[in-house]
Structures are given as C-alpha cells and as structure tokens.
Amino acid sequence: MKVLWNDQIVDESEVKIDLEDRGYQFGDGIYEVIRIYDGYMYMEKEHLDRLWVSAEKIRMTLPFTKEALSERLHQLAKEAGLENARVYFQVTRGTAKPRLHDFPDPKEVPPVLMADIQPASRPTAKQTIGIRAGFVEDKRWLHCDIKSISLLGNLLALDEAKQNGYEEAVLVRDNYVTEASASNLWMVKNEVLYTHPDGNLILPGITKIKIREIAKALGIELKEEAFTDKELLAADECFKTSSVAEIMPIIEIDNQKIGDGMPGKVTKKILHAYIEAVNLSVQA
Ligand code: PMP
C-alpha cells in the first residue's frame, strides 16, 4: 500500500519511524480524517484549516503549506486508486534524542508527517436501524478542542461503553453531555436541535459546520447549548455526527429508548440533506 511519509509517496514497507518519534513516545502530535466520496475529498479545506488550528494550539509550526499538503493528499488518493475512502493524516513533533519532555527546537527537529488511505463505505445499514449507547463519565483533559493523537481518554470511554454492552459512549462531564467518543452529539426536543457549544470541552466537528448550514436551510431551530444526561433521556431524538459516521441515529442510551426508540424524523431529514450536500459537491 502506498502512503505519504513526509514529502514522499512510498510503499508502506519503506517507511521508517524512529523509536524516539515524539508521537510514538508521548502522543505528541495531531491528526485529521477526511472522507473521500467518489474521488472527491469532502470539506477538505475545513479539515486542513482545523489541522493548522490544532498545530497552533500545541505550539507546533508545520513545515509545509496547506497547498503542498493538499497536493500530496490528492496525489496519494490518485495512486491508491480508491474512489470511496477515508484519508488519515497525522503530524508528530518529530524525532528528538535523547527522550526529553521539553519541546525540541523546531529548527533542529522537523515534524514528521504521514498519511494513509483506506477504503470506506457509507454506514447505511446502521443509519437505518440506529445504534445503542451508554453514558460514560467524560474524564478526558480540558483541551478536547485539539485534534490530538493522544486518544487514550476517548478509547477508555469507548471500551467502558462496550464492556457494558453498548456500541458507543455518550460522554458526560458534571451532568452535562459533551460529545460521543469520536463524534459530536445532538438531540432534538420539541422540533429544536441542540448540541454542546464549541469550546475546550469538545472537538469542533467539520460535520457540525455542515449541520449548521443544513439546519438553517431546512428552517430547523438550532441551539448550541449544553444539555444534561437527564434532558437527553427525555429528548425526542438523538444522533451523533462525524466525517466517517455522517449522521448516525442513537436510539437507546443506558437501555432507555430515546423517543420511540427508532431513528427520528428530524434526524432522517438532516441525514438526507447531508447526503444531498455531499452529492452536490461531488458533481460540482
Ligand atoms: N468529536 C470527537 C472526539 C472526534 O474524534 C470526532 C471525529 N474525529 C468528532 C467529534 C467529529 O469530527 P468531524 O465531524 O470533523 O469528523
């Protein structure tokens, strides 16, 4: 499989990552995932912009431009020959020896970039039936707005939910629902759409940007306000969003039905509009 390794596209077998790469040792890095639909990188600009925002927040200077990275990602997608896929890319703070907590001088230690492409298809079967989730205490750090490769807090939450027999974790911090383990979380109550406001407690999703546009176009009232776990259990509908999961209905939380326990009508309307928006971008 071809991958991007710094500025080269090489066979995966040629990649050499140093044992002292700070991503490997400290989780000192950031990443992005972009969905490719019929060869089109959906909301690529927004994902690249967020990578630069994450870099700034961790005080990392990226040694390439957005244009150069974009060109490489497109080249990789072309070489991989995958029309429906997701591209994962990450940048670590590079290899500094010996291992030291201090950030190295970026003039001496360049960041390390990699990207790979894997096939992806739309999760239509799951979207039709919805998923079952469980509440998990949000014990992550207070920089959830950074798309950090240090995902242990998210992984522990997902694992806790799975151990309890659920497919997903709905994270709760001080009684308020923040997001899911790798997606943003939404509820519909009395025809109004609610989601946690951006800030340091959640990742500002790129899919979230699109849902804002869709809600406006469909005349759905949107309130970016935090809600409690109890309020969520009393909601009419619930769903999560991410570039890969798109709009995914959540039909039960902690074995309690949300609404009538089926994907809701507002959820379905938003999903439909999302796929229309994807198709319009692909055709443009
Ligand atoms: N929150 C978290 C914690 C995530 O990991 C993700 C997916 N990367 C999201 C939200 C959704 O982000 P996006 O819509 O950009 O995929």
Query: What pLDDT digit, counting tens, does each position of 123-170 carry?
Result: 999 999 999 999 999 999 999 999 999 999 999 999 999 999 999 999
Any idea which residues carry the catalytic annotation?
Answer: 147
Question: Which pLDDT score, from 0 to 100, does residue 169 have?
Answer: 99
What's the pLDDT at 27?
Answer: 98
Three state DSSP letters for 250-278 = EEEECCEECCCCCCCHHHHHHHHHHHHHH
For the segment 192-236, what is each residue's pLDDT rounded down to a tens digit?
999 999 999 999 999 999 999 999 999 999 999 999 999 999 999
Residue whose CA lies nearest to ligand 1 atom number 8: 182
pLDDT grade, residue 59 (50/70/90)? very high
pLDDT tier for residue 278 given thresholds of 50, 70 and 90: very high
Tell me if 173 sits within 8 A of 138, measured CB to CB: yes
Q: Band the pLDDT of 58: cuts 50, 70, 90.
A: very high
| Stated pTM of the model | 0.98
pLDDT for 270 equals 98
Query: Could you tell me the distance, in angstroms and rounded to a whole number, from the CA of residue 241 to the centre of ligand 1?
Result: 7
Burial class (CB in 10 A: 0-12, 13-18, 19+), 90: buried
| Nearest Cα to Cα of residue 281 among 41, 103, 13 | 41
Q: For residue range 69-123, what is the model confidence (pLDDT) as tens digits?
A: 999 999 999 999 999 999 999 999 999 999 999 999 999 999 999 999 999 999 9
Q: Name the pLDDT band for 65 (thresholds 50, 70, 90).
A: very high
209 Cα: distance to centroid of ligand 1 (angstroms): 11
Residue 57: both structure tokens together:
């927040």
Which protein residue has the closest C-alpha to ligand 1 atom 2? 182
Could you report the per-residue pLDDT of 250-273, keeping only the tens digit for each? 999 999 999 999 999 999 999 999
Compute, in angstroms, the gap from residue 33 CA to the centroid of ligand 1.
9
User: Strand, coil or helix: what is 79?
Assistant: helix
Question: Which tokens hold the place of 151?
Answer: 């995902």
Supply the pLDDT for residue 254.
Answer: 98
